[in-house]
Structure 1
Amino acid sequence: MLSPDADFRDTVIPAEARRHLRRGLSADLGFAPDNEAFTAMLALAHLPRPLPERARHLPAVLARQIESGRWHDRYRFFPEARQFAADTDCTAVATAALYECRMLPRTRLRRHARELRRAYAPALPHDQALRPLAVMVYWDDGAEHQAPPRGHKQDAVVCCNVLYTLLLADTETGHETDSVGRATLDLVHDHLASGRYLSGTRYYPSPYAFLHTASRLCRLSPACAERLGTRLNHACDTADSPRTPLDLALLITTAENLGQTQRQGRRLNDLAALQLPDGSWPAQPYFRLGRRPLYFGSTHLTTLFALCALHP
C-alpha cells in the first residue's frame, strides 16, 4: 500500500501512485511504482524462525522477488525500473536476509560486502552534511547508464542496515572492521547521541525504525553494543508509548535485542490488543520515497514485525 501522508489516512494503490504524484505534486517518477522488491527483502530478513509447516514455502517465494531486483552485485528497489538506480539499503537487507536463510553462499556475501564498501562518501569541503567514508545510499558512480545521478545522500537507518551486512561478512571471514565500517558506525552513533533520530530520517519517517535497526547491530556485534548500548537503552526507557502497532512492535523488538524486560509485558499486551479480527495488524508507513511524500507499508509488513515482537 502507498499513501501520500505519514498517517496512512489516504491510501492509493501502487498502479495509481504515478498519476497521484503528477496530479498532486506535479512530479513524475517516470514509471509506475507497482512492483517493488524491498518489502520482500524486509520480510525475508524478519520471518519468524522456525516457520510453521504451512509457511515453509515463503522463503523461496520471497527470494524469487528479491532476485528479480538484482543488478550484478547490487539490488534495486523497483526491479523493472531501470531508471531507478540500485541502492545500498536494498543491497544490504537482501544480502543479509538471503545469507542468514542459507540462500546465499559465503562467496557472494563477501562480494556484496565489497560492493557496499565502494559506496563510501568522498570528502567534500563544501558539503558539511556528508560524513566522509561513511556509506551513502547510492553509489552514484554512473555504472547504471539508464539511471540518472541520485546525488550524495546518507541516511542513518540505511547506515545501520549496511553496517549489519558488513559486520556479518566480517564475522564470517574473520576480518576486522575497516575505515568504512568505523565511519559508518560513527555516523550511527552521532545520529543517536544528537537526538536527531527523534525526527526520523530521509527514508524512514519513524524514530523507532532507527532504534530497531541500531539494536540489531548490538545483537550482532559486541563492539556495537559497547558503543551504542547505553544510549539505546536510555532511548527505550524514555520513549513514549507508541500509538501505532508498527512502532510498538519495533520498540518491543528493540528492547528484546537489548535484553530489556521492564515494561515489555505491558507493551506486548498493548500490541496483542491492536490485532484485527482477521489476525492481522493494520498497515502503517515504514519507509518513504525520499523527499517525495510517498509512504510504503502494508498489513503484511506490520503483521510481520508484530509477530517478531510477540515471538522473538
Structure 2
Amino acid sequence: MRAFVATSHDTAPSLSDISVPEPDIGEIRVKVEACGLNFADLLMAAGTYQETPPLPFVLGMEVAGTIDAVGPDVTGFAPGDRVAVFGGKGGLAEYGCFDVSRAVHLPDAMPFTHAAAFQVAYGTSHLALSHRARLLPGETLLVLGAAGGVGLTAVEIGKLMGARVVACARGSDKLDAAKAAGADVLIDAQTDDIRAVMKDLGGADVVYDPVGGDQFTAAFRSCRPEARILTIGFASGEVPQIKANHLLVKNISVLGLYWGGYLHFRPDVLTESLSTLMGWYSQGRIKPHVSHILALEQAADGLELLRSRKSTGKVVITLS
C-alpha cells in the first residue's frame, strides 16, 4: 500500500510502498478515506514533538474511513462501520491499524473530509475553553492565530459559548474566515497593535494562544485581572518566557492544554467533550472549515501549507 513515511528526522518524509498491516489484539484496521494534517505532524517529522514515535513511522494523527477488519477482543465496532480515529500516527496511508479505544462512530451525515478535520481542532478548543478556562457568557475571548486549524474552531466555539470573540490573524483573507466563524472584532496581526485594540475593548478575560512569541507578550499585557491564558502551541517557533511576578501582580492564570494527553489520564473528559461536539455538528451548530483537500501524493505540499501558515482552517489529505 502507499504511505507517507518518515525515515529520518534530518530528511523530508516521502511516499513509499509498505505492507498492509494486520490488526492486533484490541485493534481495528481502517481503510483510510481522509486524514487531517496538524502542526504536530511537522514537529513529529522533525523529532521535536512530545510523543514522536520511533523511526520509521507513517505520519498522520487523525483519520476517517471504514473499518475493514478487526483484531481479537474488539467489541462495539465491526467491518463496514464508518469511524474517525485519533491514532497519533499512521493516518497518511491507504490502511491503518489503531487501538479501538481511539475510535468513534460517525454520524451518517458527516463526510469523511469533515470527520478527518474534526477531532483535534474542535476537541482542543472545546476542552481548552470549557474545561480549562471555564469561559463564561459575556466574557471577552481573544483568539490568536484565529484562522488556523485550531484557532478557527476556538472562534466558533467561543461564540457558541456566549463570549465576545476577538480574532487576531494575518491579512484580510484570514480575517474574513474568522469573521465568517463568528468573530465580533478583528485584529490584523500584520498592521494592528494588539494591546492597543484590546485596551479599547476593556481587556481580555481569556486568551487562546496557539502562536506564542511576540503575540503572546502583547496578549499577556492586554489581560484583565483574573484573566486566563491558554497555551495551545507555538506556531511562531518561539516559546514565551513568563515572569512569575507579573502573574502575581495581575492575578493572571496561565493554563496549558495538550488535548492528546487526556487519552492517558482523563479519557472520560475527552470522550464527554467529543460527544458534545458531535451533537453540535449533528444540529448544524458547527461546521469544519477545510481550506485545502489534497491527494496523498501532495502530502508534502499540505505540510508546507501549515509550515508557511498559508492555510485557513484544516488541510485534509484524501486517499480515494
- Greater percentage in helix: 1
Rg (Cα) greater in structure:
2
With normalisation by structure 2, the TM-score equals 0.27
- Greater percentage in strand: 2
With normalisation by structure 1, the TM-score equals 0.28
